[in-house]
Amino acid sequence: MRNTFLWTIAMVIFLFSSCSGNKQNNESAKNEKVNISVEKDSYRPGEKDALIVIKAYADKDLETLKTYAGGAQKMVLDETYFKDNSNVKGFREKISNWDGAFKEIRYYEDEINFQKFVYAVAAFYESPSGQITAVELKSTDKNEWKMAGFGTKYINKDDFEELSTELPE
């Protein structure tokens, strides 16, 4: 009986210390920000907005993402977005190893429901297998940029290189 009592006390102490330790780790992880500078002398079309979006992903900044999101995406951007989405977790892991400069920005045009869009694909990570991870934005006027989908883009290197290096006219 005495061994059971001691064993129970030891387990309660262990569980209590484990829970409080995780709380501290979670709080420090929330306060940890990735240093990404958005200020520089000149930008390519869409580049500054892509930097803001990538920083918002790095910092788990839902409010900034919502300003760049379309109507349907805004409804999904809630407290669980960063926890429950494996695509977002993988995207954020690549950002954590990012050097702060886009490798390259490529452009293309597409028409959706009789409306013409220009897309900017800002590549920041390339896997050893040749898959590019990028921020993808779209614009109707080439000045105001919004996220295409959720702003995350995975594209094969050959397909990326087929995109234009110049903004379409």
Query: For the segment 52-87, what is each residue's pLDDT rounded down to a tens digit?
Result: 999 999 999 999 999 999 888 998 899 899 998 888
The pTM score is 0.76
The domain segmentation of the chain, as residue ranges, is 44-162
Interior/surface letters 83-118, b for 16+ CB within 10 angstroms, e for the rest: eeeeebeebbebbeebeeebebbbbeeeeeeeeeeb
What is the SS3 assignment for 145?
A: coil
Nearest to 92 by CA among 67, 122, 56: 56
Assign 101 a pLDDT band (cuts: 50, 70, 90): confident
Q: What pLDDT, on a 0 to 100 scale, did the predictor assign at position 36?
A: 62
CATH top class, domain 44-162: alpha beta
Q: What pLDDT, on a 0 to 100 scale, did the predictor assign at position 99?
A: 85
Query: For the segment 5-21, what is each residue's pLDDT rounded down to a tens digit?
Result: 444 444 434 333 334 34
Portion of the chain with pLDDT greater than 90, in percent? 63
Query: What whole-number distance in Å separates Cα of residue 169 and Cα of residue 165?
Result: 12
Q: What pLDDT, on a 0 to 100 scale, did the predictor assign at position 157?
A: 96
Q: What pLDDT, on a 0 to 100 scale, did the predictor assign at position 34?
A: 54
